[in-house]
């Protein structure tokens, strides 16, 4: 799918009543820089654009610990940092398989 609109681009000048000339980026340098005003939309900055250094609060992933042979009420929701290192368990499992 293509984006409906790309940009933002700086409007250099109004050409007549129905067209504008815009300053295109290198990506669009092969395009003609004059567009009908019906295709031009105003650009409004988002909060993220206004404050790029502001830290976002990412939502933690929802991870559930499921126990075999237990009912669903025994399952636990875990934070990502509360999950033990899987490599340790994998190494122990592989070592136990070699000794058998």
- Residue 35, pLDDT score: 93
Domain coordinates in residue numbering, the chain: 10-45, 63-99
- Residue 61, pLDDT score: 63
Residues of the chain with pLDDT under 70: 1-3, 58-63, 80, 100
What would the 3-class secondary structure string for 72-95 be? Answer: HHHCEEECHHHCCCHHHHHHHHHH
pTM of the predicted structure, to 2 decimals: 0.45
- Residue 30, pLDDT score: 92
Q: Identify whether 8 is preceded by a cis peptide bond (ω within 30 of 0).
A: yes
- Residue 87, pLDDT score: 78
- Residue 86, pLDDT score: 72
């Amino acid at each position: 799918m293509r984006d409906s609109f790309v940009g933002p681009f700086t409007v250099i000048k109004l050409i007549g009543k129905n067209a504008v000339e815009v300053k295109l980026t290198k990506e669009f340098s092969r395009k003609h820089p004059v567009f009908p005003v019906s295709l031009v939309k105003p650009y409004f900055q988002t909060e993220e654009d206004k404050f790029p250094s502001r830290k976002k609060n990412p939502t933690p992933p929802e991870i559930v610990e499921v126990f075999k042979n237990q009912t669903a009420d025994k399952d636990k929701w875990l934070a990502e940092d509360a999950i033990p290192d899987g490599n340790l368990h994998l190494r122990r499992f592989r070592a136990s398989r070699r000794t058998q």
